[in-house]
């Protein structure tokens, strides 16, 4: 897997600090399962966070356990073996597999509009104001309705690929977008593009048709 698009530093730092909504955290954890580069960044941020805690709360300073394993010192072969264990019998990495009732190939897709189906995944805090987590299946050549976000949207490609103004996104890649970005992804190969997509708040659609569509599809 040749991952070209990674998780943004702000999102990774929020993940380390435990301040991300659950929906976004699931996508981050799923990407971390297959991406040594982002795992390395997380380890670095955890080191920095630990230093900050030591400096700001000297009264609670406890020496680190010298026997604790250090992710950064893992032998590369062990690290590779660790990442292959995430290939589960549901065809996706573990943090996502835990949330899926069946294998990715057997998902009972629900049609949204021609060419686009979805499957909502449950989260502990089901309030729609906290955003949604869902699988999305886009048929080849199908454009998504153009939209931006009133919060954060993060997408991980699980199968196939898509193209938008920001480039080409293939299996394993992450699109980590804030509310500044308007984009219109188009599935670009001869097979379906399947994504895991999380929002921290409902999306904003542009155009008359999209505004009509939004309350119906709820994306
Ligand atoms: Zn990455």
Give the whole-angstrom CA distance, residue 131 versus residue 121.
Answer: 11
Q: Which of 28, 60, 95 is the last residue of a domain?
A: 95
Q: Tell me, in angstroms, the distance from the centre of ligand 1 to residue 215's CA.
A: 33
- Confidence band for 71, pLDDT divided at 50, 70 and 90: very low
Q: What mean pLDDT value characterizes the chain?
A: 77
User: What would the mean pLDDT of 73-87 be, rounded to a whole number?
Assistant: 44
**Cα separation of 179 and 55, whole Å?**
34
Q: Classify residue 184: in a domain, yes or no.
A: yes
Taking the centre of ligand 1 as the mean of its atom positions, its distance from the CA of residue 118, in whole angstroms, is 24
Residues 172/157, Cβ–Cβ less than 8 Å: yes
Q: How far is the CA of 138 from the centre of ligand 1 (A)?
A: 23
Measured in Å, residue 123 CA sits from the centre of ligand 1 at 23
Residue 2 lies in a domain: no
Does residue 4 form part of some domain?
A: no
Q: Reduced to 3 DSSP states, what percent helix, strand and coil does the chain have, rounded to the nearest 5?
A: 35, 25, 40
Q: What is the pLDDT of residues 45-69, one digit of tens each?
A: 998 888 877 665 544 444 444 444 4
Ranked by mean pLDDT, which of 63-72, 84-93, 157-166, 200-209 comes out on top?
157-166
171 C-alpha vs ligand 1 centroid, how far in Å?
Answer: 12
Q: Which residues surround ligand 1, an ion (CB under 5 A)?
A: 6, 35, 37-38
Q: What was the pLDDT predicted at 195?
A: 93
Centroid of ligand 1 to alpha carbon of 160 (angstroms): 18
List Cβ neighbours of 140 (8 Å cut-off, separation of 6 or more): 160, 187, 188, 189, 190, 191, 192, 193
As for how many domains the chain has, the answer is 2
C-alpha 111 to ligand 1 mean position (Å)? 30
| pTM of the predicted structure, to 2 decimals | 0.74
83 CB neighbour count, 10 Å cutoff: 17
Q: What value does the mean pLDDT take over residues 149-177? A: 86
Assign residue 169 a region: left if phi > 0, alpha if psi is -120 to 50, beta otherwise? beta
- CATH number of the CATH domain containing 182: 2.60.120.10
**pLDDT of 170:** 92
Provide the domain limits for residue 111.
101-217
Domain identity same for 89 and 117 = no
Measured in Å, residue 7 CA sits from the centre of ligand 1 at: 6
């Amino acid at each position: 897997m040749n991952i070209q698009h990674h998780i943004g530093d702000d999102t990774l730092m929020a993940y380390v600090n435990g301040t991300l909504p659950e929906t976004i955290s699931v996508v981050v954890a799923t990407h971390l399962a297959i991406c040594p580069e982002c795992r390395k960044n997380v380890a670095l941020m955890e080191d920095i966070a630990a230093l900050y805690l030591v400096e700001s709360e000297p009264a609670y300073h406890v020496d680190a356990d010298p026997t604790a394993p250090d992710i950064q010192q893992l032998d590369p072969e062990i690290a590779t073996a660790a990442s292959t264990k995430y290939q589960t019998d549901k065809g996706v990495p573990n943090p996502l597999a835990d949330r899926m009732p069946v294998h990715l190939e057997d998902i009972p897709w629900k049609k949204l509009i021609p060419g686009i189906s979805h499957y909502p995944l449950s989260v502990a805090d089901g309030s729609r104001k906290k955003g949604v987590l869902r699988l999305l299946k886009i048929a080849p050549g199908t454009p998504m309705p153009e939209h931006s976000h009133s919060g954060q949207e993060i997408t991980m490609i699980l199968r196939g690929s898509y193209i938008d103004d920001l480039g080409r996104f293939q299996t394993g890649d992450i699109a980590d977008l804030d509310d500044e970005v308007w984009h219109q992804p188009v599935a670009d190969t001869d097979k379906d593009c399947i994504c895991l997509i999380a929002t921290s708040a409902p999306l904003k659609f542009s155009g008359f048709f999209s505004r009509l569509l939004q309350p119906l599809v709820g994306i």
